[in-house]
Amino acid sequence: MTFSDDRPTMIEFKEVHKYYGDYHALRGINGTIKAGEFFSLLGPSGCGKTTLLRTIAGFEDISSGVIMIDGKDMASVAANTRPTNMVFQSYAIFPHMTVEENVGFGLRKDPRSKEEKAKAVAESLDMVGLKGFGKRAAHALSGGQRQRVALARALILKPKVLLLDEPLSALDKKMREHMQVELIKLQRQVGITFILVTHDQEEALVMSDRIAVMFDGEIAQLADPETLYRRPATKKVADFIGTMNFVPADILSESGNSVDVDAKGLGRVTLDIAQAPVKSGDSPVVGLRPETLTLLYDDQKAPERETAGVIDEVIYFGDMTYYDVYLGGTDVEVRLSMRNVPGRPVLDVGTKVRVAWSPSALVLFR
C-alpha cells in the first residue's frame, strides 16, 4: 500500500448518530477520510453502510454529531449543493435516452454553451472507456457499460467526493472483477475521493486504500487492507475478513510489551503486545490464517515452531489444497492452505503430518 497519511482530510465524522424512529442505525461514528483516498465501508447487510453514505450525500439527516466535508460543517448544506455525487446500486440511467443524453443530464442547468457541454460529455465518456458510444441507446448497453455511463454521469459534475453504493453487485463475477480494476484506475486518474459501499470483503481488500469495517451501526476497525487482514482488532473483524482459525488459549502472564499464552495444540508461546490489539472480554483465543500454517514434507525443518497433526479433511482447489488438521493430539482443528507446486503430492485423510507455524503470525483475542 502506498497511501500516505499526510494528505488533507476530506471528510470527518464526529460522534455521528442516526435514528430511524426508535431504531438506532448509526451509533457514534468517528473517523476521517482523506482527500484522494479510495475508501470503503464494508460490513454485512443491514449494518448501516448505505445510511452512512446517504448522510454524507445529505439525502439523510443525522440525529446528532457532525459531518465535515472539505473543512465545512454540512449540517445546513442541502444535498444538491454538497461537493458529492452518488452512483447508485441500481444504475438509475434513463433507458429511453442515448448515452450522451444520460451523461449530459446533470449539466442541463449548467450555463455553458452547447459545444462546451458536448466536449465535457465526450471527455467524461472517454474517461470511463466509452469513447464513441455517445449516440447509442442506453437500453442497448450491457451491464458493465451501463455502470460506466452511470460513472461518467457522476464524474461530469466534477465532485470532490464520489459515493458508490454497491455499484458492482449486479454484475457477474468476471465483469465485476474487470470493473474493480477499471474503478481503481479511474480513481487514480481523476484523483478524487471515492467512497465505496460493499458487503464483499474481497472487493474491499482489492480496491481500497483504507476500509472501515462496520457492524450494527458502529465502526469496528478503520485501517488499511493489510492491517485489517494481519492484525484484525476483534474476533468479529477477523471472522468477517478472510478465513481465520481460532484456537482456545490460556493467558499465563502479561507484561507491558508481551503476553505469554498456552494455546491448545500449539503449546506455550510469547506474543508481542501488538499481536493482542484490544481487550473485548472474550474468552481468549489465538487466531491464525490458513496460509501461515505450512505442512512439512519429508525431512523439511520448521524455520520456527512445529506441531504434529492428523489430516481430517482435504479440499482440492486445483492451484491450492486446503487441509483441515487436528493439532497435537487434541480436538482443535485448523484449516491450512498449501500451494500445489510440482513434486508436492496432495495428502490423504488420516495422514500424520507436521505443521510449521510462526509465533509472529498469531493474533490474540481476549
Ligand X SMILES: Nc1ncnc2c1ncn2[C@@H]1O[C@H](COP(=O)(O)OP(=O)(O)O)[C@@H](O)[C@H]1O
Among positions 232-251, residues that touch Mg ion (CB under 5 A) are: none
Judge whether 76 and 68 are in contact, CB under 8 Å: no
Which of Mg ion, ligand X, none sits in contact with 297, Cβ below 5 to 8 A by type? none
Of the pair 50, 193, the CB lying nearest Mg ion is at 50
Grid cell digits, residue 155: 464524474
Of the pair 18, 146, the CB lying nearest ligand X is at 18
Which of ligand X, Mg ion, none sits in contact with 25, Cβ below 5 to 8 A by type? ligand X
Of the pair 196, 238, the CB lying nearest Mg ion is at 196
Grid cell digits, residue 364: 490474540
SS (H, E, C) the chain: CCCCCCCCEEEEEEEEEEEECCEEEEEEEEEEEECCCEEEEECCCCCCHHHHHHHHHCCCCCCEEEEEECCEECCCCCHHHCCEEEECCCCCCCCCCEHHHHHHHHHCCCCCCHHHHHHHHHHHHHHCCCCCCCCCEHHHCCHHHHHHHHHHHHHCCCCCEEEEECCCCCCCHHHHHHHHHHHHHHHHHHCCEEEEEECCHHHHHHHCCEEEEEECCEEEEEECHHHHHHCCCCHHHHHHCCCCEEEEEEEEEECCCEEEEEECCCEEEEEEHHHCCCCCCCCCEEEECHHHCEEECCCCCCCCEEEEEEEEEEEECCCEEEEEEEECCCCCEEEEEEECCCCCCCCCCCCEEEEEECHHHCEEEC
Binding site for ligand X (CB under 6 A): 20, 23, 25, 43, 45-51
Q: 294-296 and 23-34: which strand pairing?
A: unpaired
Of the pair 50, 245, the CB lying nearest ligand X is at 50
Least Å distance, CB 49 to Mg ion, is 5
Which of ligand X, Mg ion, none sits in contact with 51, Cβ below 5 to 8 A by type? ligand X
Least Å distance, CB 45 to ligand X, is 4
Stretch that binds Mg ion, among 43-51, 67-75, 184-192, 258-266 (CB under 5 A): 43-51
Of the pair 43, 265, the CB lying nearest ligand X is at 43
Least Å distance, CB 211 to Mg ion, is 16
Least Å distance, CB 339 to Mg ion, is 36
Of the pair 156, 212, the CB lying nearest Mg ion is at 212
Least Å distance, CB 243 to Mg ion, is 25
Which of ligand X, Mg ion, none sits in contact with 23, Cβ below 5 to 8 A by type? ligand X
Which of ligand X, Mg ion, none sits in contact with 98, Cβ below 5 to 8 A by type? none
Is 55 a residue that touches Mg ion (CB under 5 A)? no
Q: Select the residue whose beta carbon is closest to Mg ion and give its number.
A: 50
Is 50 a residue that touches Mg ion (CB under 5 A)? yes
Least Å distance, CB 48 to Mg ion, is 9
Of the pair 42, 286, the CB lying nearest ligand X is at 42
Least Å distance, CB 45 to Mg ion, is 7
Q: Summarize as ranges the residues that interact with Mg ion (CB under 5 A).
A: 50
